[in-house]
């Protein structure tokens, strides 16, 4: 199950996306990082989760596609699922236990609000442990809220071998058919499912019908189309579709700028997802200045710890919020530069703790679980999702 190449540039992109999700949650939960209504780029940060889904579909085909295409059987499927379990579950369990410990500590000296009762719902413990809490089984986000997307990804892994059948002999007209299906899926989420969603957004001024921001309720459907889109982009990567044009570092830079613009002016989410797909394909192609930029050590490091960043930042945030509430003068009448300074201090703490969880929990537990069976022969170092 070895890929032909290690696409390190995609590792860096994953790290940057994780960091942007953190900025979203700082703004939504802690304090506003810009005047209300003027910073769509931060508030549309939920779309970086769709970037994760797309990237995951791309990398799953890159890492496992050839093996499944050459020899699909139950034995291979078990090896695949065990490797994915070793990759995602240990840190998911640890971050959940952190939230559980925080709940009992918090409950001992605080009166729980309605929001607290929803978030720390004891009935949601089994569903979180079984990774089904992102499948619409609860009318709320529970415990470590970002893990809803980990739940949906897990079940996409189950479907992955079947989805590969769609791409085994993909002809040009079939690719266009799959793309049309994906776009129709995103429009279905935007114009039908999202208006039905009961998610209480901290940003009610965002255009409701243009959003694909569904989570605990219809999040699996959102994940499905993002993952499938990533698989389609890999199919284009494999045949080097428009390679001579899309490998350009200048075009890559322009595409990144275009993503920044689209997020800043609040256009329909589906357009941004299309641009995400272009960035993934262009980053995989590029061997020039863009690739050199993405292979800078800080970005690679950020990518290595991105899973820890994603799952650990909210437990850390909730803990720090207790102290902010005890000392309201910290943020009372604080200027925007001071709030940004607090944000960077928090992110520094998250980076330090995430580095520890990566080195002490995520990586060693992954290796130990893989060592339990010699059936898993590929190195997880090759994975960037």
pLDDT tens string 146-160: 999 999 999 999 999
Token output for 80: 């695949």
On whether the CB atoms of residues 381 and 59 are closer than 8 A, the answer is no
pLDDT single digits (tens) 278-317: 999 999 999 999 999 999 999 999 999 999 999 999 999 9
Confidence at 36, pLDDT banded by 50, 70, 90: low
258 in Cβ contact with 275 (< 8 Å): yes
At residue 170 the predicted structure's pLDDT band, cuts being 50, 70 and 90, is confident
Note the pLDDT of residue 54. 96
Confidence of residue 382 (pLDDT cuts 50, 70, 90): very low
Helices (H) and strands (E) in the chain, counts: 18, 0
Residues 53-74: what's their mean pLDDT?
A: 85
| pTM of the predicted structure, to 2 decimals | 0.89
pLDDT band at 385 (very low <50, low <70, confident <90, very high): very low
Rounded alpha-carbon distances, angstroms, from residue 267 to 79, 88, 182, 214, 219: 42, 33, 18, 17, 21
Output phi, psi for 298, to 5 deg. -60, -40
Asked if residue 234 lies in contact with residue 150, where contact means CB atoms within 8 angstroms, the answer is no
State yes or no: pLDDT of 233 exceeds 60. yes
Tokens of 294: 């993405």
Q: Which tokens sit at 160? A: 């992955």
Average pLDDT, whole number, for the chain?
A: 87
pLDDT value of position 234: 94
Mean of pLDDT values over 260-277: 91
Residue 204: the pLDDT is 63
pLDDT at position 332 is 66
Query: Per-residue pLDDT tens for 326-364?
Result: 776 666 677 778 888 888 999 999 999 999 999 999 999
pLDDT confidence bin for 89, thresholds 50/70/90: very high
pLDDT for position 380: 40
Ranking 42-46, 97-101, 251-255 by mean pLDDT, the lowest is: 42-46
What average pLDDT does range 14-37 have in this prediction? Answer: 86
In the chain the first and final C-alpha atoms are separated, in Å, by 15
Q: What is the structure's pLDDT at 205?
A: 62
Helix (H, G, I), strand (E, B) or coil at 188: helix
Residue 236: what pLDDT?
A: 93
């Amino acid at each position: 199950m070895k890929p032909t190449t290690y696409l390190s540039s995609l590792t860096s992109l994953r790290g940057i996306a994780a960091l942007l999700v953190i900025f979203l949650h700082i703004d939504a939960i802690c304090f506003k990082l810009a005047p209300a209504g003027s910073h769509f780029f931060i508030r549309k940060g939920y779309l970086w989760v769709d970037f994760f889904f797309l990237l995951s579909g791309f990398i799953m085909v890159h890492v496992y596609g050839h093996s499944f295409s050459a020899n699909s059987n139950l034995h291979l499927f078990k090896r695949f699922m065990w490797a994915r379990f070793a990759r995602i579950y240990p840190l998911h369990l640890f971050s959940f236990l952190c939230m559980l410990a925080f709940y009992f500590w918090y409950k001992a000296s605080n009166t729980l609000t309605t929001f607290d009762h929803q978030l720390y719902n004891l009935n949601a413990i089994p569903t979180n442990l079984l990774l089904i809490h992102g499948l619409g089984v609860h009318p709320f986000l529970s415990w470590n809220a970002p893990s809803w997307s980990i739940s949906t990804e897990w079940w996409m892994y189950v479907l992955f071998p079947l989805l590969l059948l769609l791409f085994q002999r993909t002809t040009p007209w079939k690719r266009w058919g799959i793309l049309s299906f994906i776009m129709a899926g995103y429009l279905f989420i935007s114009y039908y499912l999202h208006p039905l969603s009961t998610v209480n957004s901290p940003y009610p001024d965002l255009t409701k019908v243009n959003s694909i921001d569904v989570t605990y309720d219809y999040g699996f459907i959102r994940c499905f189309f993002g993952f499938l889109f990533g698989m389609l982009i890999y199919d284009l990567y494999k045949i080097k579709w428009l390679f001579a044009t899309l490998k350009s570092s200048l075009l890559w830079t322009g595409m990144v700028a275009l993503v920044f613009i689209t997020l800043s002016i609040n256009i329909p989410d589906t357009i941004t997802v299309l641009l995400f797909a272009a960035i993934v394909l262009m980053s995989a192609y590029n061997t020039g200045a863009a690739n050199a930029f993405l292979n800078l050590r800080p970005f690679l490091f950020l990518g290595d710890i991105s899973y820890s960043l994603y799952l650990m930042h909210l437990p850390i945030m909730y803990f720090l919020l207790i102290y902010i509430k005890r000392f309201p003068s910290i943020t009372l009448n604080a200027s925007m530069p001071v709030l940004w300074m607090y944000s960077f201090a928090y992110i520094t703490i998250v980076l330090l703790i995430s580095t520890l969880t990566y080195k002490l929990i995520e990586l060693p537990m992954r290796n130990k679980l893989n060592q339990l069976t010699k059936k898993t022969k590929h190195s997880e170092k090759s994975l960037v999702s």
